[in-house]
Structure 1
Amino acid sequence: EHHVVIIDEFGSVYSWGFSDEGQLGHGAPIETFGPMQVKAFEGSVISQVSCGTTTTIAVTEKGEAFLWGHPMYSFAEPTWYPKRMDTGKHKIMQVSCGAYHFAMCTSDGKVLTCGGGKFGALGHGSLDNCSKPKLVESLSSSFTEHVSCGIWHTAAVVKKYKGTGSFGEVYSWGDNSVGQLGCDEPKQTSWPLHVEGMGGEDIASVACGRHHTCARSSAGSLFSWGSNKHGQLGRVPAEGKESYRPGLVEMEGGIVTEIAAGMDHNLAVVQIDSQSFLYSWGNGAFGCLGHGDSSSVRLPQQIKSLARKTVCRIACGANTSCAIIEHHFHSQMERTDRCKHCMSKIAKRSQKKKCSRCNAAFCKSCCKQFDLIKPLQPLRSSGGNVKQSKLPLVCMECNGVLLEAQFEAKFHSPAQPKKVQGKQQKTVTISVDPRFVELEQQLRAANAEIKRLKERLGEIT
C-alpha cells in the first residue's frame, strides 16, 4: 500500500517507500524516496516479488520464498530482513500478496495459502488464520498455474485437460459480498468455486482488486466481475453497481496481453495493429490512472503520455500504478527526427533524407548544400560502370571512410601467394594504378571538407 519493490535484469531487488513494519527489507524503519538495493539478496537471483499491506515476498530462481515485514493477522514481530519461508519440499513458482493473506503456486501445480482466514480467504475449509503456508487440499488434484489475492478473496487459474489439449478455468473463494467470486451465492465460502460464464475461453491469468476480479484469456479477451462502484469493471453491467457474473470488457478491438488490478482501478497492456498501448480505468484517486487528473473513468481509456512507449511490465498498488518502459538511448547525432548538420527538427518525411551508411538524417536544405553526396564510383564492376544516379546517398564523413577503405583495399593490400594443386605460386608484385593520383586527391579534398564542416559546426554550437 505504501511501498514499491522491483527487480532489475540481473535479479537484484530494490525497494522504496514506507518501512514502518520492515516491508522494505533494509534492516531499519527508514523511509526512502528512491530505489535502494536490498543487500540481503546480493549473490542471489530473484525471479518475482509481490507486495502486501505491510509485507513483501520474493521468489528466487531456485523456487525459494523469502518474506519480510509484518504479516497481518500474525502475532510475530516484524521481520526487518528477508527470511526464508518454510514451504516444505515445494518449489515456488509464483506468489501473490493480498492485504491480509497471500497465496503461492508451486512447480507441481499446488496452491499454498497463509495469513488471515476471514471470509474463508485461505480456502482451507474454515475461517481460521494460518501462520505457515498450508496446502489448499481441494485443488491438490488439479494443476494451478496462477493465483491472485484481493482484500478478502482469492482467485486461481486451474488447468483442465480435454482430449489432447488443455485450457484454463477460474476458481475463487473468500468474500462474495458484491459478487467478486463470480456467482450470486453464497456470500462467502472457504472452498474454491468454479467461475462460469466466460464462453469456454482458455484463461491465462487473473487479477484481484478490493471487491472485483479480472481474468485474461490466452486469446487476449478480458472479463471482469464484482463491484463497479468506481467503474473498475470497465463496462456497464446490467445488474447496476455490481456484476455477479463475468462480462466481456471491450478494448477497441485490441488484444490484452497483461492485466493488473489495484484496490479499485486496473491497468491493461493492449496490442493494436502490432503496437502496444497502456489503458487504465476505475477510481482515479491520487492520479493513479495516469490521465492527468483524479477523476474516475468507467471505460478503458488509453494513457496518452505513454502512447509512443513500449510497456514491458505493469503493476498496481492500492492507489498507485507502475509501468516499466523499454528505454532507447539516442545521442543527438543518432536521432532521425533532427538534421545531423543544423540539428533542426524535420517535420515531414518528404523533407528528410538519410545516409545509407550511418542512417543519420538530413533536412532538405542541408542535403542540397553539401552534406549528402554520391559516393565514389567503384573502380571495377561486373556490369561496367554504375550510373551515378543509382548510387545511394552518403554523408561526407561516411564518404571519406569509404574512400579510404577503397584506397586501402585496392592499392595497399599485400598480394597473397596462392596454392594450386599443393604447389605454392610465386608472389607477383602489382604496380600502382595510374588512377592513384586522382584517387588520392579526392581523398584529401574529402578530408579537408570534413574538417571545415566540423569547425563550422563547432562555431554554430
Structure 2
Amino acid sequence: MTGRERNRKIAVLCGAVVVVAVIAVAMFIGMSKSGATDKMTSAEMACGEDHVLVVDDAGDVYAWGHNLKGELGDVTCDNKSEPVKIEVPGKVIQVAAGNELSFALCKNGDLYAWGNNESYQMGDGMNISRMEPEKIMEDVKAIAAGSNHALAIKEDNALYVWGRNKDGALGIAESDCDQKDENGYACQSTAVKLMDDVTELSAGLDYSMAVTSDGTLYAWGSNIEGQLGLAKTDSTNADGQPYQSVPAKVMDDVSKVACGVRYQALALTTNGDLYCWGKNTVGSVGTRQVDDTENNIQTQPLKIMSDVKEISAGSAHSLALKNDGTLYTWGVNNYGQIGIKKGEFQYAIGEEMIYCQATPVELAKNVEAIAAGGFMSLYRSADGVLRSVGCNLYGQLGIGSEESSISTAHAVYLK
C-alpha cells in the first residue's frame, strides 16, 4: 500500500474523501551541518501535505519533500529528501504551502507562486501548473494557502481570495467566479477582495478563517466535520453537506487561528486560552468531550488548554506551544507525528492499526517555534536546532533518510 493510499483510508475512517494538508506557520531554524550554532532571527517555514518551505535570514528559500507538480521550484519534479535552494527574486519574508502549491512573499510586497495550478489556485489567471516562481500580486503583507485556494492580506488590511470555490471556500457566490476547473467546480482565477480590516488568516480544505483587528474570528466554507466552529450554516451542497457561503462570526478575543485540513481548527485568545473544534474520531479536537456524540463532532469552540502562545494544525493532529516552552501534541499518530510510537487508542483499517492520541501529550521542552505538516511535526528548540518527526514517504522530514516514518525527532540542516 502506498503512503497516499494509506492516508485515503484514514480519511475514510474520519468521514473524509481525501486527506491533504496545508498549514502555513512561521518558524526559526538552527545549526549548520558542521555543527556550529546558526540561530536565525527572522526565518520562516510553511508545510504543505508533503513538502516544506523555509526562508533563512538572508531571505533565501529552501524546500524539500514531494515535488510532483514542481512545488519545490525544481523543474525535475523529483522528490527531495534534503533542503534545496529555490531562486525567488527579491528577499523573501514569508512562505505558504498548499496541496502541491507554494507561495513566497518578498519584503517589497511582491507575491510569487509555483506548483499545482489546476484549480487556478496560483491566482495568475491561468490553470497551467508552473515549476518556477511567478509573480502574481503586489502590495501583499500576509499569505495563507488552503488545499486548492489561497488568501492574502494586502497593505491596506483588505483580504483577497482566489482558487477553487467548492462549498463556499472563497466566501463569494459561485456565479461571481470567472472559471471552472476540470472537475466542474467554480474557480476564481485572480484575486478578488472579500473583507476589510483583517489581521490574521488561515485556510484548509475548502474552508477559510480570518481575524479582524478587533479580535473577531470569522469562518466560511465547508462545515462537513464541524470545522468552522459554527453550530449552524446557511447552505448545503448537492450531497446535503453543510457549508457557510459568506464569512460568519465564530468567537471574540482571538489573536491567532490555525486550520487543519478538514477535521479540526484551533483559535488562540489574547490571554493564551486555546480553543479547538471539529471532527474528533481520531482525537483531533484534543479532548474526548464532544457536543454531538452521534457524529463525534465538537461543533463549537471548546477550551482545551491555557497559557499557550503558538498553535499549528496538520491533517488530523495539532501542536500547541505553551509559554514555558513546552510543546504539546495530539490527534492521529499513524506515522509517529506526535512523537510517540502509539497513543491512547487505536483503529484497525484492514490489517493496519492506526494509533491516536485524544488528549495533549508533551513532545518536547525548551521549544521556541512549531509547525504541523500533513502527517509530520516540526519544532525549533532553544538551542537553535530545527527537528522533524513523522511521515517521510517523500523526504518531507528533510533529513536525507529513506525511512517511511520516524517517531523520534531528528535535526534538519539547510545546505
Which of 317, 326, 344 matches 1:265? 317
Q: Secondary structure at the match of 2:94?
A: strand
In structure 1, what residue type is equivalent to 2:201? V
Please identify which structure carries the higher strand content.
Answer: 2
User: 2:279 aligned to 218, 227, 231, which one?
Assistant: 227
1:204 aligned to 244, 247, 255, which one?
255
Letter in 2 for 1:179: G
Query: Which structure has the higher relative contact order (CA within 8 Å, separation 6+)?
Result: 2
Instruction: Normalising by structure 2, report the TM-score.
Output: 0.69
Q: What does residue 79 of structure 1 align with?
A: 130
- Give the match for residue 92 of structure 1: 140
C-alpha distance in structure 1 between counterparts of 2:167 and 2:155, whole Å: 28
Query: What secondary structure is seen at the aligned counterpart in 1 of 2:355?
Result: coil
> What is the aligned partner in structure 2 of residue 192 from structure 1?
247
Which residue number corresponds to residue 66 of structure 1? 112
Q: Which amino acid aligns with 1:84?
A: K
2:211 maps to 1:170: no
Q: Alpha-carbon deviations, 1:1-30, whole Å to 9, x = none?
A: 121111112221100112111100123312
What is the SS of the residue equivalent to 1:85? Answer: strand
- For 2:188, the aligned partner's letter is C
Q: In the alignment, what sits opposite 1:286?
A: 335
For the 8 Å contact 1:123–1:174, the answer to whether it is kept is: yes
| CA shift for structure 1 position 229 | 1.5
Q: Mapping of 1:360-379 within 5 angstroms?
A: none
2:371 alignment partner, SS class:
strand
1:181-215: CA deviations, max 9, x gaps? Answer: 2222222122100114xxx4x21111111232110
**Residue 188 of structure 2 is aligned to residue 130 of structure 1:** yes
Partner in structure 2 of residue 155 of structure 1: 209
Give 2:301's match in structure 1, choosing from 237, 246, 255: 246
Give the 3-state SS of the residue equivalent to 1:129 in structure 2: strand
Cα distance, 1:179 vs structure 2: 1.8
**Pairwise CA distance, 1:112:** 0.9
Q: Choose which of 293, 296, 300 in structure 1 pairs with 2:360.
A: 300
Distance 1:247-1:328 versus aligned 2 partners, 3 A rule? closer
Q: Measure how far apart 1:119 and its partner are.
A: 0.2
1:290-329 alignment, distance < 5 Å: 290-293=339-342, 295-303=355-363, 306-307=364-365, 310-327=366-383
Q: Per-residue CA shift, 1:34-65, capped at 9, x if unaligned? A: 01111334xx2211111111100111111111
Aligned residue number for residue 180 of structure 1:
227
Look up the match of 1:427: none
* 1:243 alignment partner AA: Q
- Offset at residue 105 of structure 1 (A): 1.4
CA distance, structure 2, for counterparts of residue 281 and residue 108 of structure 1: 37
1:403-460 Cα offsets, whole Å, 9 max, x none, are: xxxxxxxxxxxxxxxxxxxxxxxxxxxxxxxxxxxxxxxxxxxxxxxxxxxxxxxxxx
- The one-letter code of the counterpart of 2:211 is V
The gaps in structure 1 that reach 5 residues or longer are: 161-167, 330-461
Structure 1 219/130 Cα, relative in aligned 2: closer, same or farther at 3 Å? same
Q: Residues 110 and 137 of structure 2 are in contact (CA less than 8 Å); yes or no, is this contact kept in structure 1?
A: no
Q: How does 1:21-60 map to 2 (within 5 A)?
A: 21-41=69-89, 44-60=90-106
SS at the partner of 2:213?
strand
User: Does the CA contact (< 8 Å) of 1:26 and 1:39 recur in 2?
Assistant: no
Aligned to 2:413: none
Q: What displacement does 1:290 show? A: 1.2
* Residues matched between the structures, number: 299
Residue-by-residue CA offset, 1:237-269 (whole Å, 9 max, x unaligned): 23221111111013xxx5111000011110111
Q: Is the 8 A contact 2:227 2:299 kept in 1?
A: yes
Aligned partner of residue 183 in structure 1, secondary structure = coil
Q: Is the 8 A contact 1:150 1:211 kept in 2?
A: no
Give yes or no for contact 2:314–2:372 (8 Å, CA) kept in 1. yes
1:72 Cα deviation after fit:
4.0
Q: SS state of the match for residue 295, structure 1?
A: strand
Amino acid aligned to 1:215? A
Give the 3-state SS of the residue equivalent to 1:276 in structure 2: coil
* TM-score, structure 1 normalization: 0.62
- Residue aligned with 2:327, SS: strand
The equivalent residue for 1:237 is: 290
Change in Cα spacing, 1:115 to 1:327, as seen in structure 2 (3 Å) is: same
Give 1:224 deviation, angstroms.
1.1
Q: Which has the larger radius of gyration?
A: 1
Contact kept in structure 1, 2:286 and 2:360, CA below 8 Å: yes
Q: Identity percentage over the alignment?
A: 27
1:332-352 deviations in whole A, cap 9, x for unaligned?
A: xxxxxxxxxxxxxxxxxxxxx
Residue 335 of structure 2: SS of its match in structure 1? helix
**3-state DSSP of counterpart to 2:298:** strand
C-alpha displacement of 1:328? 5.9
